[in-house]
Chains A and B, each alone.
Chain A
Amino acid sequence: MKADGTAPDPAALLRAGLVAEAANGKVSSDLADRIIAQATAPLVPLDEDDELGRRRRSSQAWRGWVLPLVAAVGIAILVGSAVAAVRLVSSRDSTGNHGPSPTASVPVAPLKPSPTAHTSTGPSATPSGSGHPSAAQPGPSGPVPPGFTAFDLTWVSLKEGWALGTAPCATAPCTSLLRTTDGGKTWVGIHPPVAELTETGSCATSATPCVSSLRFANAEVGYAFGPNALFMTVDAGSTWQRQPGSALSLEIADGTALRLSSLCEPGCPLTVQSAPVGTDNWTAKGLPQGGRSASGELVRVGSEVLVADYGNPAGGASNETSVLFVSTDDGSHWSTIAEPCPQGTVTGVGENDTRAVTIAPDSSISVLCVPRAGQPSAVFTMTSTDHGAHFSRASSSPGTYGAAVVGAASRSALLVSVSDGLFRTADGGASWAQVSAAVSYLGFESPLVGHALPADASSTGSSVVLQTVDGGAHWASYPFN
């Protein structure tokens, strides 16, 4: 109906009416999160009630043939347990520090490190993880050593992950390695490589290999590495083989491992090498220009790789800024990105240094910018959605500088750990909310699922692991047990 009373074009009326009517469809603010969570939720085991109900419903079908099988398996378990118990007692007696006694008053060592040989030493402890089945051969496992604290985490799925840490023991090295198959709710100990943990060992002057980080490609193949060593296992941690060189960072994707290392330190150029997962066939992936860096970091999501060649933000020459190298083809070709953090027009004033970098599952790149010492210390993030060609500065700061940790669930959902805690933005940095205490490790396995390790003031690692299933908005804490 037009104002003059003439009949309107019904098609135009229908178009306008549908647009107006569609606007009346109300959309919940959390709808997208709900959809993503439901669609991408891992296939979790049936809970006890469901499992019980399923068993009840199918009881008539299996009763005829399963009972004899169950009886046979039961006998085998009894025999196996007896043998394992005898081995465990024998093992404790011979080494004195091989495994914890449930009643021991003094903490004892975790599983002993495995020799760097290809032959397996066989099980050295009771298979305490038998209640947490894995699709792959889990390798020998034991209980979590008392007093375990973690320094690094790695995940190959939403449920299967490993924690590298240490636990009190009588004879160094006390490096320990744990494995979970239920997203971090329960853990078992597995063989670590024979290496000190950099946080606890004297790596700088000692010939002892030191590791600081851990990455697994799948249930079988994993890497433990540090500033002077790189180990690889291809048998789920039963044995660890030392590789040539070392790694400051190592990330796995697309069937390859990419490692960042320095041929000497400090001040030597950074190098990137690639090898098919599980092999020692390392080949160079040359960066556009040789670094002279004090440190570096490599992060990766799929074929997108980012290398941060950190300058000397600890107080060196004012022009020692960081340089980023970005590749979108697993390191075959690189683009050089100048320091994305803004630099002041007057030397030493208004200068900011890239202190940490991350790539979100959506391939957006975010950097944590930290003002030089002596200047206002509010950190801020900058994010690029075009492989580093352009960076946008977040409009507000999560706080003052503390631990240099940044993680990203997406281009708009960032988390930054500073002195005051772990802060999250869901709007690209326009506003921040504290979601946890400060963390020392932060990583996302999907846009929703991530893990973190709380920062410990005593620098002895974390005794719990934090997990989020909503992109970092909420975190649950699980002890390593």
Chain B
Amino acid sequence: MREEADFAEFVRANSAGLVRSAFLLVRDSTAAEDLVQDTLVRLYPNWSRVAAADSALAYVRRSVTNNFLNSRRGKYNAAGREVLVAEAPERVGGVDFATQVGDADLVRELLDSLPPRARAVLVLRFFHDLDDEQIAADLDIRTGTVRSIVSRSLSTLRAQAAAHTRTAGSLGQLARVEPNTQLKGNAS
């Protein structure tokens, strides 16, 4: 009963965060929920092992990532699907709203263009801040492979950003926002 209570407490505290992280991998909210639910249900029979880990959350996050990569025929892989954004991102700090939308689009395009393993590497590296060695251990790949993926991805992103700067610009990004959206800050 205690184990069940611990599990329930963990799920209530972390399932939302895990889904948002999984969303970066599978690129679809429903598929992300399925991935997290499936992973946690699989882990529950051995929850004492999870709870005994240095970080139960890291253990589960690693399991989610590997479940995503190991799923056959892209069970959870919805990359390429159109992602609907219900709410425009709010202005943060001194960043121009239009610039932020543009950056998010660039990252989205990059994620959608990458194969699952490379996507997982980027998420672990830049969203969860794991170092190359941890990522290599989690995904059972060589550290050199991790560094190669990161390097190529950053180059791609740099090139995309440069291309965007030349062809679109801030006004071009603004045109993609819903016309009735009330923009905050210096969006003009």
Where the two chains meet, the residues of B that have a C-beta atom closer than 8 Å to any C-beta of A are 1-2, 4-9, 11-12, 15-16, 19-24, 29, 32-33, 36-37, 40-41, 44, 83, 85-86, 89, 96, 99-100, 102-104, 106-108, 110-111, 122-123, 126-127, 153-155, 157-158, 161-162, 164-165, 170
Contact = CB atoms under 8 A, between A and B. Distances in A.
Contacts of A19: 127
Contacts of B157: 10, 13-14
Given A410-B8, A447-B5, 11 more contacts: A13-B107, A18-B127, A20-B107, A24-B83, A27-B20, A32-B12, A32-B15, A40-B7, A302-B1, A360-B5, A410-B5
A18 B20 CA distance: 10
Nearest to A303: B2
A346 interface: no
Given A10-B158, A10-B161, A21 B107 contact: yes
A34 interface: yes
A11 B154 contact: yes
A32 to B, nearest CB: 5
Interface in A17-60: 17-28, 31-32, 34-36, 38-40
Given A7-B162, A13-B157, A35-B41, A25 B126 contact: no
Contacts of A410: 5, 8-9, 12
A17 B154 contact: no
Contacts, number: 155
Nearest to A5: B165
Given A11-B154, A17-B106, A20-B107, A40 B44 contact: yes
A220 B140 CA distance: 49
A40 B4 contact: yes
Contacts of B106: 13, 17
B96 A3 contact: yes
Contact of A38 (B12, B41, B96, B103): B41
Interface of A: 1-3, 5, 7-8, 10-11, 13-28, 31-32, 34-36, 38-40, 301-302, 360-363, 410, 445-448
Nearest to A26: B29
Contacts of B20: 22-23, 25, 27
A156 to B, nearest CB: 11
A252 to B, nearest CB: 12
Contacts of B164: 1
Contacts of A39: 7, 11, 40-41, 44
A361 B22 contact: no
A245 to B, nearest CB: 28
Given A17-B104, A18-B123, A31 B1 contact: no
Contacts of B40: 35, 39
17 contacts: A1-B99, A1-B102, A1-B103, A1-B164, A14-B107, A17-B103, A20-B103, A23-B20, A27-B33, A35-B36, A36-B12, A39-B40, A302-B2, A360-B5, A363-B5, A410-B9, A446-B1
A18 B37 contact: no
Given A25-B24, A26-B29, A35-B37, A1 B165 contact: yes
A301 B1 contact: yes
B107 A447 contact: no
B44 A22 contact: no
A2 B37 CA distance: 39
Given A10-B157, A10-B158, A18-B107, A25 B8 contact: no
Which 4 residue pairs are nearest across A and B when measured between Cβ atoms?
A: A17-B107, A25-B23, A39-B44, A361-B5
